[in-house]
Copies of this chain bind each other. A is one copy, B any other.
Amino acid sequence: MSMAHKWLNKVRWDENGLVPVIAQEAATGDILMFAWMNRDALAKTVELGEAVYWSRSRKKLWHKGEESGHTQRVVEMRLDCDEDVVLLKIEQVGGIACHTGRHSCFFQKFDGEDWQAVDPVLQDPDTIYAKKHP
């Protein structure tokens, strides 16, 4: 194994070979989404300079924005103290990270009794994904 992979080996991949990833908008500090990466996804993210996750449901690499155009340009990448969580500081192309058409996936706020959707839908999801699913 080449020394070039030292940084990939430093990550403590879980029992499924995955690491949790937090995507934070670099300019605003807003947390946009949470996803997972395997080793290939993290290597590809660095290679492309754009977020590539591992889709646990589809069991394949998921270049974020591949369908919607809402790619995430990586500005900075960090690893936590235990080396088992990655933080991506990104620029969110189109300003929409969530498949519901919202800026952030974290749009449900706890009001003391229940979770309430409090953030606006910026674009109808049907029009976001219509390009490839006419």
**Residues of chain A having any CB pair with chain B under 8 Å:** 6-7, 10, 20, 22, 24, 28-31, 33-34, 46, 76-83, 85, 87, 98-100, 102, 105-110, 113-115
Q: Which residues of B contact A24 (CB under 8 A)?
A: 29, 31
How many angstroms from the CA of A114 to the CA of B9 in the assembled complex?
10
On whether A7 and B77 interact (CB within 8 A), knowing A20-B34, A24-B31, A29-B28, the answer reads no
Q: Which residues of B contact A10 (CB under 8 A)?
A: 114-115
Contact A81 B110 (CB under 8 A): no
Q: Which residues of B contact A79 (CB under 8 A)?
A: 106, 108, 110, 115
How many angstroms from the CA of A113 to the CA of B9 in the assembled complex?
12
Q: Which residues of B contact A108 (CB under 8 A)?
A: 78-81, 83
How many angstroms from the CA of A6 to the CA of B20 in the assembled complex?
27
The smallest C-beta distance from A128 to any residue of chain B, in angstroms, reads 13
The smallest C-beta distance from A22 to any residue of chain B, in angstroms, reads 6
